[in-house]
Amino acid sequence: MAKRLDLKDVDIYYGKFHAVDSVSLAVPPRSVTAFIGPSGCGKSTVLRTLNRMHEVIPGARVDGEILLDGENIYGPSVDPVSVRRTIGMVFQRPNPFPTMSIRDNVVAGLKLQGRKGKKELDEVAERALRGANLWNEVKDRLAKPGGGLSGGQQQRLCIARAIAVQPDVLLMDEPCSALDPISTLAIEDLISELKADYTIVIVTHNMQQAARVSDQTAFFNLRATGEPGRLVEIDDTPKMFSNPTEQATEDYISGRFG
């Protein structure tokens, strides 16, 4: 559990469009890395290449190496499906499966990967729901549909679903952007707890959130519209927010951007 990620000269394309230019960075195990930057600079794009979700889009392509504990996830003999089992993802909008109950949503990953055993799955569901701080709210209605929960509960359900398959790394793309402040805090607390077991990468537009939850922060930016996005700098979060090396970072963080 909890492995390190290394990106080496990663270039990302959508067909002919060069979306992200030569990103190199390291994500240590059991830490939270926040991606910040203006809209359209490629944060989601980079995040989605980390578990090979990028290539789901027709024409999308990645150059360079992404190493998980030294093993290239883009290696020629690597099955993207097995990469996604190891590196889980939580999306911006909560997306529970509408045809499944709360419990079945949580164990969907295991069930669809072909693992059965009702008792084992029940245990996994409880553990994951407790892990996502949702157990107490849903333990009496596990058989009810997941779509009947509130937005914040649905998002925690999606986190439970992602951790139920016990990935090594957890990617989160603006997991709180559709949530109220209380649900947001609940998820931030959860991220701090999950850090003990997982390597976490989170995209956020909320500076306070990045400052609160992350150990290191990466700032992405565009040189100009139409140009590819690039990594401006990555450093320990306290340093990034107090005394960044690059002027662009300071301008963005202090709101003097654009």
Ligand X SMILES: Nc1ncnc2c1ncn2[C@@H]1O[C@H](COP(=O)(O)OP(=O)(O)OP(=O)(O)O)[C@@H](O)[C@H]1O
Q: Which does 31 bind (CB under 5 to 8 A by kind): ligand X, Mg ion, another protein, none?
A: none
Q: Which positions lie near another protein, rule CB under 8 A? A: 51, 53, 56, 58, 81-82, 84-86, 88-89, 91, 93, 95, 97-99, 108-109, 112-113, 144-145, 147-148, 158, 161-162, 165
CA distance 33 to 6: 12
| Residues in contact with 255: Cβ distance below 8 Å, sequence separation at least 6, in sequence order | none
Sort 157 into a burial class: Cβ within 10 Å, 0-12 / 13-18 / 19+: buried
Stretch that binds ligand X, among 34-42, 78-86, 192-200, 232-240 (CB under 6 A): 34-42
Tokens standing for 251? 């301008």
CA distance 19 to 38: 14
Helix, strand, or coil here: 46?
A: helix
| Enclosing H/E stretch for 124 | helix 118-131
Query: Does the protein bind ligand X through residue 204 (CB under 6 A)?
Result: no
Give the residue with the Cβ less far from another protein, 110 or 222.
110
Tokens standing for 29? 């195990």
Nearest distance from C-beta of residue 216 to ligand X, angstroms: 18
Tell me which of 2, 32, 43, 164 binds ligand X, using CB under 6 A. Answer: 43
DSSP symbols for 68-83: ETTEETT-TT--HHHH
Residues in 52-111 at the binding interface with ligand X, rule: CB under 6 A: 57
- Would you tell me the crossing angle of helices 181-194 and 151-164 to the nearest 10 degrees? 10
Nearest distance from C-beta of residue 51 to Mg ion, angstroms: 15
Q: Which does 112 bind (CB under 5 to 8 A by kind): ligand X, Mg ion, another protein, none?
A: another protein
Helix, strand, or coil here: 87?
A: strand
| Enclosing H/E stretch for 190 | helix 181-194
| CB half-sphere exposure, 83, CA atoms < 13 A | 24
Residues in 212-241 at the binding interface with ligand X, rule: CB under 6 A: 229
CA distance 50 to 150: 29
Give the residue with the Cβ less far from another protein, 91 or 135.
91
Q: Which does 93 bind (CB under 5 to 8 A by kind): another protein, Mg ion, ligand X, none?
A: another protein
Sort 251 into a burial class: Cβ within 10 Å, 0-12 / 13-18 / 19+: middle
With CB atoms as reference, the residue minimizing the distance to Mg ion is 44
Q: Which does 14 bind (CB under 5 to 8 A by kind): another protein, Mg ion, ligand X, none?
A: ligand X
Stretch that binds ligand X, among 36-44, 97-105, 119-127, 240-248 (CB under 6 A): 36-44
Q: Which does 165 bind (CB under 5 to 8 A by kind): Mg ion, another protein, ligand X, none?
A: another protein
Nearest distance from C-beta of residue 199 to ligand X, angstroms: 20
The residue ranges that bind Mg ion (CB under 5 A) are 44
Residues at the interface with ligand X (CB under 6 A): 14, 17, 19, 37, 39-45, 57, 229
